[in-house]
Structure 1
Amino acid sequence: MSYLVRRPDTHLIRLLVLPTLISTSLHSSYNVFNWAVALFCFVLIGKGIDLALARTGRHKQGESVAGTMSTPAIAAKEGSDAPGDASVKERQCSTLLPLWLQDALELMFSMRGLGWDFGKGVYTPPATRPQERLPFLRATINSFLVNFLILDIVEATIKLIPGVGDPFGGSIFFADLPFPTRYLVSTTIHTLTGIAFVAGFGMVYDLITLFSVAFLSHSPSSWPPVMDNPWAAQSLHEFWAKRWHQLLRQTFLVFGGIPGRKIGGNIGLVLGTFLASGFFHECTILAMGREWDSRVPLFFLVQGGSVIGERIWRKTTGRRVGGFLGRLWVYFDIILLGQPLVDAWHRRGLGGGMVIPPKLSPARIILIPAIRKLMA
């Protein structure tokens, strides 16, 4: 698909290939009880639909005809001429691989669409690391180690919580606790889960970045941060459109945003995108053999409604949601209203799943035994 979409007059061929892509993706993913594989399955399907329906192909930014630009797409992105960015004009192994294969691979692995037509308007977090290769690699190694340790400590802590840390799952709401304590505990578990998600995204992204820059000679500017400190968001629009990762933006637009806009304009675009996100996160857990839980798509639909509410507030008052009150609003929506979402996941075994193998876990090898010894 990625090859064909860069070739002229292939629209019909891509439409005919699409059913095979969808069926084989579902078959290979739903034969294993693995949430992450099922997540990737739906990403593949979304990308396949997008490539199949792109009537004139996928263009690099600034490219008038698909397949005519020889430089990488990231070189076409505005602002790519940063210090230390000279290598972005060429690809590693560019003399070994034909241009069509280079383009197909680049498009295949592009999630945010940096430098591609479908990536126009995607927010890219500002660089937080040196753009010279060696300092960049050192900073990325440090970031990887920090994210790894945070994720390890949080995961090990969650696995100590009765029920929640069980592979078969358990609720974050403990009915035998009094009301204030019950929700203090659930809020703590919910926040720890959020920290694990942020650290996990960062850890995996750092690892891929290290491989790409160190061994594939990618430019550091080709790997901007995956998130922009989501804890600092002062509105839900800022949180979802800028602070949170944009890796699945195109997936949700394909599944819900674009059809929603055709049905209901901009409101349909927002609600369709968030509803697609909800069904995406819920359908994938069926690959683990778990039951359906409507609280997951409902949470994301409420988030879409809240984002629309922010637009109404701005049009009514002339002021954007922001500042300290805006941050409280974000925390209310994500930390309080998000607890049923996380409870739905933990009830079905999220906390008991293995993320970091025990033999590679400093928290379980050193930290937890040391704390237990001190307590004893």
Structure 2
Amino acid sequence: MASGENIVAMASSNSSPGAIPRTSSASSPTSIDLTTLFAPPFFFAPFNRLHERNLLVAEPLGKDPVVWFCYAILPTLCLLVQAYLILTPGTRKHRRAMGAVTVGVMWGAWTSWRFHEFEFNAFNCGITIVFIHLAIKAIEWTLLEHHLVDPRMAAGRPKLVAAMDLCMNSRLLGLGAMGLDTLAGPPNATLKAVHIERHLPKPSGRPTSRLGAIARHMVWVIGYYLFMDALLATFRRVGGPLLLPGPVGAVKAYSYSSRFIMFPGVLDIEPYPFLVAYAVQACVPGIICGGLQLGYHLAAVVCLSSTFWEVDSWDVDLFDGPWKAQSLIDLWGKRWHQLFRHQFVICSAATLWLLRLPNTPYLLFPLTFLFSGALHSLGELNMSSPVPQPFKLAAFFALTGVACMLEVVFKAITGKRVKGVAGRIWMWLFMFVVGRVAVDAWLDAGVAGCPLLPPGGPGEYVADWMLKYVFHEK
């Protein structure tokens, strides 16, 4: 199998700025491959020039501290000033002006620098999504008529800490309902105490001391690091062609070309190719969940150790056991991370208002997932080609929105929610069948080759053990 250095070299030689993702090698010259119709030049449409411009003009992100100050710290400081202003009554004119500055600085940073190395291509996507998320946050703060209330300030939280928390608190934890998002709980202006929004899990059994809270988060940091490191190390050993951009349908091709023996020397079971494909597919949400949880708990350790944040302010974890979900609404509306929920809701509500349509679940769910698909697709605008096919990502989220709407219809007809054993079967079946569309888009573009964690960690030993006693390639 190719080493990490060889993979990077092969990827660099196989992809060039502006290139289009390769289509299936099985396609004949006379056949029509529908995937090419939705390659980036078509789907990005008005954004295509921006994509090409960024590929050609954006400077590489290196180790220059001045570049990183302009790229990351300066936009953050601008957002922090705006957050401070929105917590202060009577500053609407000032935060309007600051909002324009914030969005302008973010735009300048995003269009000026990007990672040129192919192995960091996934980071280009992730950073773009963060920039879009923060820009929408800045625009909302510009448009809100009244200031925001942080109920913890009444208990002694300094305004600067409240502003910093507002910048990071994407779930708006403890802040109630604001703006067009009226579903989260009591209106923000009426809050007298911290309110856990109804779509977030209610924490229980949390340590009440600062040292205990830090220890709890530190245990999760270590646990998720070991999980991620072991999973990534194993994937590097056996992933082979999945670590590089390849033909459309890389997962299927890999599952049929690779042969594994489960429990060698004991049971010697050779799994069917479709089971291998499902195992690869399951790794993708596992890595997403593990990576976000690792970052969340690490941030909690840092913030709690600073003593500026209250002990219970980081009690609500980012995920609530997604594998326990009993329906798609349960999965996406509560158990998966809710980092972008507020912005999807306000964008959907604004769209329905502009179209003079009623704000009902039958329209809100599909629109919310359309905006989710748009966010994940537009995240590719700063990626080197080949990029994950935007149409596939958008299609996955659009179909998920339709499926959630069907669950609402089911409840309206039967009076019962989708739940229980039947709900779990429906949820898992949908995610493995339809979720394959998004997984194929990401893995066909070689996103799996991104080194999310540095190699050489303890996960290498776990990978050795797995390949010796659990499964190995024939």
TM-score over 0.5 for the pair: yes
For the 8 Å contact 1:125–1:226, the answer to whether it is kept is: no
Tell me if 1:90 matches 2:156: yes
1:3-46 deviations in whole A, cap 9, x for unaligned?
A: 33234444444444444433332331242132222121011111
Equivalent of 1:219 in 292, 307, 310:
310
One-letter identity of the residue aligned with 1:139: R
Distance (whole Å) between structure 1 residues aligned to residue 102 and residue 347 of structure 2: 16
Distance (whole Å) between structure 2 residues aligned to residue 175 and residue 215 of structure 1: 47
Distance (whole Å) between structure 2 residues aligned to residue 305 and residue 50 of structure 1: 27
Distance (whole Å) between structure 1 residues aligned to residue 224 and residue 254 of structure 2: 33
One-letter identity of the residue aligned with 2:114: V
**CA separation of 1:369 and 1:184: change in aligned 2, threshold 3 A:** closer
Distance (whole Å) between structure 1 residues aligned to residue 463 and residue 334 of structure 2: 36
1:47-69 deviations in whole A, cap 9, x for unaligned?
A: 012111111232346xxxxxxxx
**CA separation of 1:60 and 1:20: change in aligned 2, threshold 3 A:** same
- Post-superposition offset of 1:373: 7.7
Deviates more, 1:128-137 or 1:38-47: 128-137
Distance (whole Å) between structure 1 residues aligned to residue 417 and residue 467 of structure 2: 49
Q: What does residue 106 of structure 1 align with?
A: 165
One-letter identity of the residue aligned with 1:162: G
Distance (whole Å) between structure 1 residues aligned to residue 459 and residue 345 of structure 2: 39
Deviates more, 1:22-31 or 1:208-217: 22-31
Q: What does residue 39 of structure 1 align with?
A: 129
Q: What does residue 232 of structure 1 align with?
A: 324
Structure with greater contact order relative to length (CA < 8 Å, sep ≥ 6): 2
- Post-superposition offset of 1:2: 1.4
Tell me if 1:126 matches 2:202: yes
- Normalised by the length of structure 2, the TM-score is 0.66
Q: What does residue 138 of structure 2 align with?
A: 48
Instruction: Provide the secondary structure at the position in 2 that maps to 1:3.
Output: helix
Aligned CA RMSD, in angstroms, stands at 2.7
For the 8 Å contact 1:275–1:300, the answer to whether it is kept is: yes
Please identify the structure whose Cα radius of gyration is greater: 2
1:330-369 deviations in whole A, cap 9, x for unaligned?
A: 112222210110111112222000100114x2123x3345
- Normalised by the length of structure 1, the TM-score is 0.82
**CA separation of 1:175 and 1:35: change in aligned 2, threshold 3 A:** closer
- Where does structure 1 lack aligned partners over 5 or more consecutive residues? 62-70, 76-88
Identity of aligned residues (%): 25
Distance (whole Å) between structure 1 residues aligned to residue 452 and residue 327 of structure 2: 31
- Post-superposition offset of 1:278: 0.7
- Post-superposition offset of 1:309: 0.7
- Post-superposition offset of 1:164: 1.2
- The within-5 A match list for 1:269-308 is 269-290=364-385, 291=387, 292-308=389-405
Distance (whole Å) between structure 1 residues aligned to residue 89 and residue 207 of structure 2: 40
**CA separation of 1:176 and 1:202: change in aligned 2, threshold 3 A:** closer
Instruction: Provide the secondary structure at the position in 1 that maps to 2:251.
Output: coil
- Post-superposition offset of 1:372: 6.4
- Where does structure 2 lack aligned partners over 5 or more consecutive residues? 1-81, 116-123, 179-183, 186-196, 258-270
**CA separation of 1:151 and 1:115: change in aligned 2, threshold 3 A:** same
Q: What does residue 85 of structure 1 align with?
A: none
Tell me if 1:25 matches 2:103: no
For the 8 Å contact 1:174–1:182, the answer to whether it is kept is: no
Distance (whole Å) between structure 2 residues aligned to residue 257 and residue 181 of structure 1: 46
Q: What does residue 164 of structure 1 align with?
A: 242
Aligned length, in residue pairs: 341
**CA separation of 1:319 and 1:259: change in aligned 2, threshold 3 A:** same
